[in-house]
Amino acid sequence: MMNRSLRKLREAVKVARLADMPVAKALKVLADMPEARTFRLTPEVLRWMLLESLPEQYATFLFDQAGYRVEMPLADLAYFARYDEILADLAVSVILYLDKE
């Protein structure tokens, strides 16, 4: 299930070209994206995505700074990220992770 929802999310992010948008617009689009509403982002998955897309020290620092400890839909993270710089860095890192490959 996770692999299927991750594939659907990855495809939606690429089709929407989120990585090419200004951050504020990308976060708004992601927050409204149906695939992001159904994709449950656990702390473990978030940490893994950060480690896959960022240098290890920065990924660990960002994860620790955010204090991300609960599972939530990716759309909710994108919504909250519009109001918090650390969460915005997390969400942008997830977008970049999803856009690669």
Q: What is the DSSP string of 65-91?
A: HHT--S-EEHHHHHHHHTT-HHHHHHH
pLDDT, tens digit, 9 for 90 and up, residues 32-63:
999 999 999 999 999 999 999 999 999 999 99
Q: How far apart are CA 21 and CA 5, in angstroms?
A: 23
2 pLDDT above the threshold of 70: no
> What residue spans define the domains of the chain?
2-99
pTM score of the predicted model: 0.92
Mean pLDDT of the chain: 94
